[in-house]
Structure 1
Amino acid sequence: MTVRNIGIIMNGVSGRMGTNQHLIRSILAIRQQGGVTLPDGDVVMPDPILVGRQASKMQALAEKHGLTRWSTDLDACLADPYNEIYFDSQTTAHRADAIKRAIAAGKHIYCEKPTASDLAGSLELARLARQAGVKNGVVQDKLFLPGLLKLKRLVDSGFFGHILSVRMEFGYWVYEGDWQAGQRPSWNYRKEDGGGIIVDMFAHWRYVLGHLFGEVKSVSCLAATHIPRRWDEKGEPYECTADDSAYATFELEGGIIVQANSSWTVRVDRDDLLTVTVDGTEGSAVAGLRECKTQHRVNTPKPVWNPDIPNPFSFREMWETVPDNQTFDNAFKVQWEMFLRHVAADAPFSWDLLEGAKGTQLADLALQSWQERRWIDVPTLSL
């Protein structure tokens, strides 16, 4: 067995998601487990270098986690042949330019989504990567959540029969920041900085729907900025220019209808922050981030509408839990391991920059639907 070290430029991992999911729970966890085993038995070991604009922040983050490699000079990191992979989890507005520089330097690309601020920018990245011959991937973490893996298991088994409809509820109340600090960065609520729940979340919904149920054929969306004023990380008030809630309907191939509500202005009264309800001719299911429950047609109750008597049914008790049947690892870590095998051993990896562009496309079309107040067809993307 031989161990191959792969230098990874990690740009923008000082933020909440970058630190927790990509650095600590993915790359550092992979290092602690002894690397990633390749098909031939060899091991690839990720060796990160943390990159950001503030030297003190990068140094502190590196030292906190026992790392020695950090920098504020992205170009120097890109010029070092030891660093084979460039990873980007910066804010959306800064991502595309840095990825272009990394492609020009011959680095393999792995990045968060959305990959760019609009479809043209996302497609440009996909074309540049293909022309340069570099391997590339986009984070699509929700595919590897236990709840959605169980839901995929049900779909593949034919449990639902003919799938009729899907309802997705996502979101939670994000504090305005005046009397209690908000849970999300203030740029999320400024359109000029790449913010907005459509830009943020519809990239997720595109790959979730496509992977589980079928490609999106058309979209109708209404959005809103329900909270017009918030307070930033310094306690200063600012005007919100981006949408904080979106109410969408998608038509999928095969005639499946999807209703998807996404909101940072909703208080949660459901089993999880994300719930996906699927109804089919043979059965139904409700999946959250980790759990999934089902109701087959033979176990379906027969309610009759009668508002004059108390409801005689305990509806939530009439569902069965889908068992784990396996050990589930962190969703981000699972995809990181797959991408490392892709780079080091040419293992298959489906979620490239073109797939990422599909998410940007859906967000763009949803914004257009909102502005024009009409249904928009979703064209097939190709390079």
Structure 2
Amino acid sequence: MARTTLGIVMNGVTGRMGYRQHLVRSILALREQGGLQLADGRVLWPEPVLVGRNADKLEALATRHGLEHFTTDLSAALADPANQIYFDAQLTPLREAAVQQAIAAGKHIYVEKPTASSLAGALELARSADAAGVKHGVVQDKLFLPGLLKLKRLVDAGFFGRILSVRGEFGYWVFEGDWQSAQRPSWNYRSADGGGIVLDMFPHWQYVLEHIIAPVRSVYAQIATHIPERWDELGKPYQATADDAAYGVFELDGGIVAQINSSWAVRVHREELVEFQIDGTHGSAVAGLRECRFQSRAGTPKPVWNPDIPNTEPFRAQWQQVPDNGEFDNGFKLQWERFLQYVADERPDAAFAHDLWAGAKGVQLAELGLASAAEGRRIAVPELGRGA
């Protein structure tokens, strides 16, 4: 069985997301299963080249996982013809220049979102990649979560009838860092470092809404920095200059209204850290990371509001579980597999839907969301076609 080695320059793997989800649970997981089996009989063997700014951290990671290749010299890694893909999970302000450098070196591009700090930058990356003739993709992992896959199954089956509305709740309490360490890096709360929950989460909501329900046509957002002072990784206090909560209302095609709250200053009183509810004329469903529950029109109870007597309706018990009907792998790994198949010409006539143009739509929504919050008004989302 022929094995094809594919060098992947992985920049930013010393960070939480780059390390856990992309290196360990995706690329190393593929190696542990013997590589990626292609339809033509070949086995694709990913060979990661770890890149970052801290040589000691890179060496420690390479030693821990038995990897040979690591460097702080991005130019050298890109100059090696064995390396065909560039992956970027750096801080957002560092991404654009590094991706442009990789495009100029003729590498295929796969990046975390947001793809750039501004829509102009995101569009320029997409144009540059197309002009260079390289293949490109952006991480849109939430589409591959079991709960949302089940939700999409209901949508595709026509379960909801006419969809009326969507409600989303995301977030959890991120400790300030003084008496308990924070669960997220301090750069998330500094706007100069690319922080802010709008820039982080609105790109997610854009592709979730578009791919599962309908494209976004307008946005109204209210943002806040609820916790103005936090403590960094060294225990030093700093001023939080980025938004840590965003309350968005999105109008979708067909008049569907979506309301999504995103917050790092909320305590969880729901089944999972993120939940979406779709209500339609024929039924409703609530999906989290893994589970999805539904209630049909015929199975909907008829409650009556009466504040003078205790509630006797077991509302949660009146919903049914959507069955798994299959095995679910890690969402990041699944998308990595699809991108690697795309690069390997597994399906040469099929475009990769989650490309840099799709990533630009997410940056656009974040930018418009911030403008809406600043101006206190609803803003239309213009169509963003390829080559825009």
| TM-score when normalising by structure 2 | 0.98
What is the CA–CA distance in structure 1 between the aligned matches of 2:187 and 2:94, rounded to whole Å? 12
Q: Which amino acid aligns with 1:70?
A: F
Shift of 1:242: 0.4
Q: Which amino acid aligns with 1:168?
A: G
Shift of 1:43: 1.1
Runs of 4+ deviating beyond 6 Å: none
Q: Which amino acid aligns with 1:380?
A: E
What is the CA–CA distance in structure 1 between the aligned matches of 2:36 and 2:346, rounded to whole Å? 14
Instruction: Name the structure 2 match of 1:332.
Output: 332
Kindly provide the CA deviation profile for residues 34-63 of structure 1, in whole angstroms up to 9, marking residues without a partner as x: 111112121111000100111111000111
Any idea what SS the aligned residue of 2:344 has? helix
User: Is 1:373–2:381 an aligned residue pair?
Assistant: no
Any idea what SS the aligned residue of 1:345 has? coil
Q: Which amino acid aligns with 2:377?
A: R
Instruction: Name the structure 2 match of 1:70.
Output: 70
Any idea what SS the aligned residue of 2:261 has? strand
Q: Which amino acid aligns with 2:271?
A: D
Instruction: Name the structure 2 match of 1:280.
Output: 280
What is the CA–CA distance in structure 2 between the aligned matches of 1:344 and 1:316, rounded to whole Å? 46
User: Is 1:172–2:172 an aligned residue pair?
Assistant: yes
Structure 2: segments with no counterpart, 5+ residues: none
Q: Which amino acid aligns with 2:215?
A: E
Any idea what SS the aligned residue of 2:160 has? coil
Instruction: Name the structure 1 match of 2:14.
Output: 14
Instruction: Name the structure 1 match of 2:163.
Output: 163
The 5-angstrom pairing of residues 244-259 of structure 1 reads: 244-259=244-259
Structure 1: segments with no counterpart, 5+ residues: none
Q: Percent identity?
A: 65
What is the CA–CA distance in structure 1 between the aligned matches of 2:223 and 2:129, rounded to whole Å? 33
User: Is contact 1:178-1:230 (8 Å) kept?
Assistant: yes
What is the CA–CA distance in structure 1 between the aligned matches of 2:328 and 2:346, rounded to whole Å? 24
What is the CA–CA distance in structure 1 between the aligned matches of 2:151 and 2:119, rounded to whole Å? 30
Kindly provide the CA deviation profile for residues 71-97 of structure 1, in whole angstroms up to 9, marking residues without a partner as x: 010000000000000000001010000
Instruction: Name the structure 2 match of 1:43.
Output: 43
Any idea what SS the aligned residue of 2:68 has? coil
What is the CA–CA distance in structure 2 between the aligned matches of 1:321 and 1:32, rounded to whole Å? 33
Q: Which amino acid aligns with 2:289?
A: L
What is the CA–CA distance in structure 2 between the aligned matches of 1:309 and 1:180, rounded to whole Å? 42
Instruction: Name the structure 2 match of 1:186.
Output: 186
RMSD: 0.6
Q: Which amino acid aligns with 1:17?
A: M
Q: Which amino acid aligns with 2:384?
A: L
Instruction: Name the structure 2 match of 1:364.
Output: 367
Instruction: Name the structure 2 match of 1:300.
Output: 300
| TM-score when normalising by structure 1 | 0.99
Kindly provide the CA deviation profile for residues 165-188 of structure 1, in whole angstroms up to 9, marking residues without a partner as x: 000000000000000000000000
What is the CA–CA distance in structure 1 between the aligned matches of 2:305 and 2:291, rounded to whole Å? 30
Shift of 1:346: 4.6
What is the CA–CA distance in structure 2 between the aligned matches of 1:122 and 1:288, rounded to whole Å? 29
User: Is contact 1:38-1:345 (8 Å) kept?
Assistant: no
Instruction: Name the structure 2 match of 1:212.
Output: 212
What is the CA–CA distance in structure 1 between the aligned matches of 2:345 and 2:97, rounded to whole Å? 28
Any idea what SS the aligned residue of 1:210 has? helix
Any idea what SS the aligned residue of 1:275 has? strand
What is the CA–CA distance in structure 2 between the aligned matches of 1:102 and 1:216, rounded to whole Å? 31
What is the CA–CA distance in structure 2 between the aligned matches of 1:192 and 1:337, rounded to whole Å? 34
Any idea what SS the aligned residue of 1:258 has? strand
User: Is contact 2:8-2:83 (8 Å) kept?
Assistant: yes
**Equivalent pairs, count:** 383
Any idea what SS the aligned residue of 1:247 has? strand
What is the CA–CA distance in structure 2 between the aligned matches of 1:82 and 1:41, rounded to whole Å? 21
Instruction: Name the structure 1 match of 2:356.
Output: 353
The 5-angstrom pairing of residues 93-242 of structure 1 reads: 93-242=93-242
What is the CA–CA distance in structure 2 between the aligned matches of 1:43 and 1:345, rounded to whole Å? 13
What is the CA–CA distance in structure 2 between the aligned matches of 1:145 and 1:6, rounded to whole Å? 26
